[in-house]
Amino acid sequence: MIYGANGYTGELAAREAAGRGLKPILAGRNAGAVGALASELGLPHRAFPLESPQLDGVSAVLHCAGPFVRTSRPMVEACLAAGAHYLDITGEIAVFEKVLALGEKAERAGVALLPGVGFDVVPSDCLAAQLAAELPDATELILAFASTRGAISRGTMKTMIESFPHAGAIRKDGKIMPVPIAFDARKIDFPGGQRWAMTIPWGDVSTAWWSTGIPNIRVYTGTPPKQIRRMRRMAPLLPLLGWKPLKRFLQRQVEKRVTGPSEEIRRTAKVELWGEVRNAAGQVVTRTLVTPEAYQLTAISAVEAAVRASEGRVPPGAWTPSKAFGRNFVNELPGVGT
């Protein structure tokens, strides 16, 4: 089942699955929208709210309806009760921490819990695991990514608003710590050339520790210096954005105004990733990765992960992508290179 199939990324996943000859059940709250897409793709569908899940006969759920900080818990509970494997495309640190902490409960239920099987965090998690394998005693991990061209979807924007006023996070000595927006900025040697990047609260601040045990982790995204300065100037205003009525207002505006990357951008854009590990002795190992556009990769990786889970190829428990499918999982996906 693909839940949230009528959303931007859910629809991409549905079309990817149909293109592979798969027959997932499309589901979501909006019966009209889900039904129309299902009819177009020749797929079965169900309409239900998260409060009343309908998972009978379902082996795995690919959950695409965010913000996941609000929606993951009811779907996880429904999957545990129904004996269905749970997958999602979250990038939210709080969601990763909560879902990955449920490993023992998932084992008892015979269910695999797999958060973050899209661009958040498949390529960066696999890159982190590859680096850790090359330098097993690493104590510091830095990950960075930058898009050649890009835009974000309605769901991603709403999730970003939901995270306010929290604007940054790193992992230090094994613990996740809040930090100011654009806490650190540096130049990164991406495959396409050197670019400025700033720290962001990306999911790997959580998942890379679960995957590698490295205690100090930072994640950066390519950002022009002018934008970094602008972000730092707006830091004093962030507490205002934590006010719930304002959050809901902004999310309603996003619902009206934001769509997502065009088909042409998804087809032609690339994302460059860079990673570095360092140990106490000062040894350093770096690696790079190039993937298709982020939403394009999400559809590909999420569907492939759901197929493997539904086929029983992931043991019960709670797993990061590299733990579930191996550190080279991302390199097995089409369009991925170094």
The domain spans of the chain are: 2-118+296-326, 122-294
Out of 111-125, 142-156, 160-174, least confident range: 142-156
Please, which residues have CB within 8 angstroms of residue 251's CB and are 6 or more apart in sequence?
A: 158, 161, 162
Structure tokens at 72: 């993951």
pLDDT in tens, 252-302: 776 667 567 788 988 999 999 999 999 999 999 999 999 999 999 999 999
Q: What pLDDT, on the 0 to 100 scale, is given for residue 181?
A: 85
Answer for the pair 55, 82: CB distance below 8 angstroms, yes or no: yes
Single-letter amino acid code for the residue at 95: V
Most distant pair of Cα atoms in the chain: their distance: 60
Average pLDDT over all residues of the chain: 92
What is the model's pTM? 0.91
CA 52 to chain centre: 25
pLDDT in tens, 184-226: 999 999 999 999 999 999 999 999 999 999 999 999 999 889 8
Structure tokens at 1: 């089942």
Q: What pLDDT, on the 0 to 100 scale, is given for residue 164?
A: 65
Q: What pLDDT, on the 0 to 100 scale, is given for residue 333?
A: 98
Task: Assess whether pLDDT exceeds 50 at residue 153.
Answer: no
CATH 3.40.50.12640: does it fit domain 122-294? no
CA distance 173 to 55: 41
Task: Assess whether pLDDT exceeds 80 at residue 63.
Answer: yes
Residue 68, CA distances (Å) to 63, 73, 116, 126, 239 in order: 9, 8, 11, 22, 21
CATH 3.40.50.720: does it fit domain 2-118+296-326? yes
Task: Assess whether pLDDT exceeds 90 at residue 244.
Answer: no
Do 2-118+296-326 and 122-294 share a fold? no
> Which of the 8 DSSP states describes residue 121?
B
Q: What pLDDT, on the 0 to 100 scale, is given for residue 22?
A: 98
Please confirm whether the linkage preceding 34 is cis (ω < 30° from 0): no
Q: What pLDDT, on the 0 to 100 scale, is given for residue 131?
A: 98
Radius of gyration over every alpha carbon of the chain, rounded to an integer in angstroms = 19
